[in-house]
Amino acid sequence: MKRVAVAVAILFCGGRASGQTAPIAPAAPPFEPEAEPEPINDSDGYTPAVEGAAAPSPLSIDGYIDVGFAKAQGDGTSFAPNDQSIPADYGVDTFAPAVNSRGDVASTNSNGRFVNGFLPRSVGTGGNASFLLNTLDVDLKYAPASAPLMVFSRVQLLPRFTGSGDGTRVYVEQAFGRLVPFDSQEFALAAGKFDSVFGIEYLDNQANIRTGVTPSLVARYTTGQSIGAKLFYRVQIQPLQSAVSLNVSATNSGNFVESLQPPDASLTGKPVGAGRLGYELNTRGIQVKLGASGLYGPRNDQAYQAADQKAYGLDARVAVAGVYLNAEYVHVEEGEGGPKTTSLGNFPISSSFYVRGGYLQLAYALPFSIGALHKLTVYGRYDRRHAWFEGYTPITVDRFTGGVRIDLWEAIIMKAEYLDNRELAGAPTVANNVFTSSLVYSW
């Protein structure tokens, strides 16, 4: 009992660090994201420690390096040169010209036009072809044999040039402790900074996991990490070869990415609740995973508790005969609040905002392996997003993404893809297509 009390105390009293999904199991194949947010069924739960020299080390260090090369059209932004409407980031999709798995774009330079904080991070390359060091990731995991506890941290170094100087960041993306209190149940409690519980795309956040290079057009609403507590529970229904899972969290900011809502402090004093109810069918020939997600709470880019945000989403994954289909739909509404604060700075107004969007991705792993070539995957994705700020022209954009991924040995991944961004309605047509590639070394 004392052990448990100490564990709980550590979880919560130290919960101001930041963190995400625990890679208890080795990374799943890139196009086969088997790892649920809390893949307890892939672990052996709590078992007594192995005594003696054969005991595995409780500490493991993993990570990856993501080196990129990208070229965006135009000036690397989605801003139309002749458009003078304000804010510049309200009438276009600033997240469209993404170049890496973090969703960073080639540029967010508005050339002096006022922006109101609806922006992604930028690698500052504009329309130039450039090599990039997207991410240097270091994961530490400590799982003592003497306790049903796992402590995980993911620290990332993000070398960046902003166009006006060095903008390199050291970012604590995840830092949490997870407790499995019941030996016989797939039940886990976690506190700290951890991954989203909304939808499925957050499972692909990391470059060494994601099938392609860039996130979808709706990833900004569902893939962010935040600080808080979460609970995961899964029930296996063996006669039906099925399982039902529930993953819920209470965090500072919900699941928006950090450039839109800061996760490291609650600006309202009230948590954001989120959750996903999932169903899995696991047969020998086909795997199906379905989920429904929801989010509700105050938007964490301003200080008013009454300015709420709510979202729901549906997701599906099907794997059959080497073909992998991922699809997700997201619906988000944000109420008007006070002055806006994001990780990118302070802005005068948090406008009411609405979005509906989703994506469908198909990947096919060619059924051969030759020497160092372990896997060759081709993939395509279609994204569509319809969004508007209150009183502002609604915009509809879509994107076709096509690419190829090559896995060499177990440690190197090469990916290349092309993003064809289109402005279908509202937003002015701009040249913002992107070619990008990624070379990922894992250890």
Partner 1 sequence: MGSVFRVAAFAALIALGGCSQAPAPPAAKLWTLFDVQALYAGGAPGSKAIAADAGLPGGIRLDLISSPLASDGSSTLAVRTAWANGQLVAFLTTEVWANYPQVWMQPAYVPVTRASAGGPLQFLGGVRRPIFSVGAASAFYSPFLQIVYAEVPADTAPDALTSAKQILDGGYPLTPSEGRTMPLVPDGVALPPSGELPTNVVPGTGFLDGTLVSFLDFGASMFTWDPATNVVQEAPIYVLTFVGPDGSVLASPSIPTILGAGPPGSGVAPPGGGQRNSAYYRVHTVVVPSTARVFAQPGSQLESDLQAAGLAAFTGFAPGASDVQIATFSGRVALNPGDPAQGASGCFDDPTLVNHSDANPASCLWLGSEAALEANLDLSTEETTAITVNWEVTDLLEPDGTIVAVPQPVEPL
Which residues lie near partner 1 (CB under 8 A)? 1, 4-5, 7-8, 11-12, 80, 82-87, 90-91, 112-114, 116, 179, 181-182, 189, 191, 228-229, 250, 266, 268-271, 302-305, 336-339, 348-349, 351, 389-394, 423, 425-429
Check: CB of residue 38 under 8 Å from CB of residue 194: no
Minimum separation from the CB atom of position 48 to partner 1 (A): 17
User: Which among 124, 140, 121 has a CA at the least distance from the CA of 192?
Assistant: 140
**DSSP secondary structure code for residue 272 in this structure:** E
Q: Which residue has the tokens 């839109």?
A: 260
Minimum separation from the CB atom of position 4 to partner 1 (A): 5
Q: How many residues does the chain have?
A: 443
Minimum separation from the CB atom of position 7 to partner 1 (A): 8
Peptide bond into 39 cis (omega under 30): no
Cβ-in-10-Å burial (0-12, 13-18, 19+) of 180 comes to buried
**DSSP secondary structure code for residue 168 in this structure:** -
Minimum separation from the CB atom of position 98 to partner 1 (A): 23
- Amino acid type, 378: V
d(CA 201, CA 222): 7
Give 335 or 358: the residue with its C-beta nearer to partner 1.
335
Minimum separation from the CB atom of position 38 to partner 1 (A): 15
d(CA 416, CA 157): 22
User: Which among 228, 306, 248, 298 has a CA at the least distance from the CA of 270?
Assistant: 298
Give 324 or 389: the residue with its C-beta nearer to partner 1.
389
Give 112 or 285: the residue with its C-beta nearer to partner 1.
112
Rg (CA), the chain: 21
Give 156 or 247: the residue with its C-beta nearer to partner 1.
247
Give 270 or 374: the residue with its C-beta nearer to partner 1.
270
Minimum separation from the CB atom of position 59 to partner 1 (A): 24
Give 35 or 229: the residue with its C-beta nearer to partner 1.
229
